Structure 1
Amino acid sequence: MAGHGAPTAQPIDCHDLRVAVVAASWHTEVMDGLIAGAERAFRDHQVEAPVVVRVPGTFELPVVAAALADQGYDAVVALGVVIRGGTPHFDYVCNAATDGLTRVALDHQVAIGFGVLTCDDEQQAIDRAGLEGSKEDKGYEATSAALLTAQTLRKVKRRTP
């Protein structure tokens, strides 16, 4: 588990950002923790009325993130979890989610919070989900990163060449 080396960033005022979360439904306990972490980040960054949309699984995150980006959201936080099994399914879903969310960010020039846990087992996911006793809070981290990136994009887009 990485945990160390993470940047320390104080929450900033993001009350004027339109923000959405797209969250998978598999692994309820882990997903509840990730969403709770996102909600804590929203409070800390003063985000007003974020939208939360649920999808069946992690594979479905990119297409809904793209639809939200099309609606003009400044940031979209993608939350999901994929736990390795005995088939290549893990690799296919992880690659599709990562590549798809990257494409959404680049094609739409929108901040994407990457809160997709890719774990070998359920305990690793629980350790990262921001639950009581968890070592990390990836829902919070992904949300904070998306908010800070959205603010940076605003500044960059306002600059004239």
Structure 2
Amino acid sequence: MSGKGAPELTVTNCSDLRVAVIAAQWHQQVMDGLVDGALRAVREYGIDEPTLLRVAGSFELPVVAKALARRGYDAIVALGVVIRGDTPHFDYVCQGVAAGLTQVSIESGVPVGFGVLTCDTEMQALDRAGLPGSSEDKGREVVTAAIATATTLRLVSEPWR
């Protein structure tokens, strides 16, 4: 199980954060589970009005994340699914998305939660999608990580007294 050893994160004082969730449209059943888990988590943290945007596929996530970072969001969650096929397309998409989202986060200083499932099979993706019977809820986990990072950045961004 890939979630083995995951940390238990505690997130507080975050209800005033501006959070955006960007979700690809490929693999609708998996994406529906990821989005539901992400939005449920955002609301559980007291953030009543998260922004939800849908994009064509995972490859489009970085450019939209960059636009949202420029618009003052405190945390961005990028959700997608890439399932290995018979061509090297999987490798190019996964590398491009990971590098693009990392670049947005580093250059903007805004945490971008990486919720792009990179799986060998659709069953692996379904098992991580937070659906009934899934062993993991990656949508929820990614929101928690992004919000926890945003609250940590608040601590290190405040001037010394």
The two structures have a TM-score, normalised by structure 2, of 0.97
Structure 1 distance, partners of 2:108, 2:60, is 18
Which portions of structure 1, spanning 4 or more consecutive aligned residues, are displaced by more than 3 angstroms? none
For 1:142, the equivalent position in structure 2 comes to 142
**Does the CA-based 8 Å contact 1:77-1:113 persist in structure 2?**
yes
**Does the CA-based 8 Å contact 1:11-1:44 persist in structure 2?**
no
For 1:91, the equivalent position in structure 2 comes to 91
**Does the CA-based 8 Å contact 1:13-1:46 persist in structure 2?**
no
Q: How far apart are 1:101 and its partner, in Å?
A: 0.3
Q: How far apart are 1:106 and its partner, in Å?
A: 0.2
Local SS of the residue matching 1:140: helix
Gaps of 5+ in 2: none
Query: CA-atom RMSD, angstroms?
Result: 1.2
How many residues were matched structurally? 161
For 2:129, the equivalent position in structure 1 comes to 129
Q: How far apart are 1:44 and its partner, in Å?
A: 1.8
Q: What does the per-residue CA deviation read over 1:86-133, in whole Å, with 9 as the maximum and x for residues that have no partner?
A: 000000000000000000000000011110000000000000000000
Structure 1 distance, partners of 2:159, 2:10, is 24
Structure 1 distance, partners of 2:9, 2:157, is 22
Structure 2 distance, partners of 1:38, 1:121, is 22
**Does the CA-based 8 Å contact 2:65-2:101 persist in structure 1?**
yes
Identity %: 60
